[in-house]
Amino acid sequence: MNKKIRWITETAIMLALLVTLQALTKGFGQFVTGSCVNAVLAVSVLVGGLWSGVTVALISPVLAFLLGIAPQILTVPAIMVGNALFVVLLHVIAGKDASVAKRVTAWLVAAVVKFAALYAIVVLLICGVLSEGLLASGVMKAPMLTALPATFSWPQLVTALIGGGIAMVIVPVIRKALHR
């Protein structure tokens, strides 16, 4: 099969799986939905490659916002950054043929960096430094500014660890099935 066609197909499948999981798990809360999303992000990059992972990482928050999962439009770019860092670090550290130790290191580093980026952008910048201006301009309401830190703090680390852990288990099986 042509590499470009394979890339498009695999990326489209990952996006379809992502949308399906977001829609099906929306009512189960952040821990279930976020873990599913992170698992799909990790599988996308570790099976489909860097650009498949980056594509899914950047489209995912837009789809989450359209499905009513992302709490505020201002968080979409922050989630894009966190997701992109997650998949890029998985790719750079683990690659396609990495040892178990490298894959585990990639998973842990990627989860911590994603959490740190989201915390810095949403909690410290949006809800901290920019909060007065956002309130004054009416872009955000006070209840949202007080709710966002709970969503974009430690739960992001937990969901990245769970999703990445799921991917660490299933990626070798998928690769074997695909003869990679």
Chain centroid offset of residue 60 CA: 7
Q: What is the pLDDT of residues 80-99, one digit of tens each?
A: 999 999 999 999 998 766 78
* Burial environment of residue 98 by CB neighbours within 10 A (0 to 12, 13 to 18, 19 or more): middle
pLDDT tens column, 1-29: 688 999 999 999 999 999 999 889 988 98
CATH number at residue 122: 1.10.1760.20
**What is the predicted pLDDT for the residue at 97?**
67
Range of the domain at 61: 3-177
* Per-chain mean pLDDT for the chain: 90
Distances (CA, A) of 60 to 18, 90, 113, 115, 131: 7, 17, 18, 16, 25
Cβ-contact 172, 48 below 8 angstroms = no
Q: How many domains does the chain have?
A: 1
Per-residue confidence (pLDDT) for residue 1, from 0 to 100:
67
List all residues 6 or more positions away from 173 whose beta carbon is below 8 Å from its beta carbon: none
> Could you tell me which residues come within 8 angstroms of residue 15 by beta carbon, excluding any fewer than 6 positions away?
55, 56, 59, 63
